[in-house]
Amino acid sequence: MSNDPAICKKLNRAISAAKKSLTNNGTKEDRVIIIRDPDCPFHIEYIRRKEIRKIRITLGVISPSDEKLCRQFTLPGTLFTKEIWCRHHAVHGFDKREIY
């Protein structure tokens, strides 16, 4: 994460918005967990009945280094999905990309 306080604040707001979106669109059994591990490239873990999504939040653009970080992070089994959600300035919602 950036050391710039303004960027950190924007990223934290985007993470909160993503969590809210997942919570509002999921079922009451679904769980949304903010990941605070600095060694993990993902910001959110979304647990549903038959899947777990690891989601990285970016601002403005999904860079090749974002994709590389997510691809290199090994997850066990086939229940996991890796995604990057990009929040653009002054735009509601996210661009979403699944990472293989």
Q: Compute the average pLDDT of residues 53-77.
A: 94
Q: Is the pLDDT of residue 1 over 70?
A: no
Tokens of 12: 């934290």
Q: Is the pLDDT of residue 89 over 90?
A: no
Which residue's entry shows tokens 């993503």? 18
Query: In the chain, pLDDT over 70 holds for what percent of residues?
Result: 97
For 24, phi then psi, to 5°, come to -70, -30
pTM of the full predicted structure? 0.91
Tokens of 9: 């604040």
The string of pLDDT tens digits covering residues 11-48 is 999 999 999 999 998 888 999 999 999 999 999 999 99
**Angle at 13 (CA atoms; ends 66, 22), nearest 5 degrees:** 80
Question: What burial letters (b/e) apply to 57-87, b meaning 16+ CB within 10 Å?
Answer: bbeeebeeebbebbeebeeeeeeebbbbbbb
Give the torsion through C-alpha atoms of 8, 12, 13, 18, to 10 deg. 140
Q: What domains lie within the chain, and their CATH numbers?
A: 5-99 (3.40.1350.10)
Q: Is the pLDDT of residue 76 over 90?
A: no
Q: Compute the average pLDDT of residues 69-82.
A: 88
* Residue 79: predicted pLDDT: 85
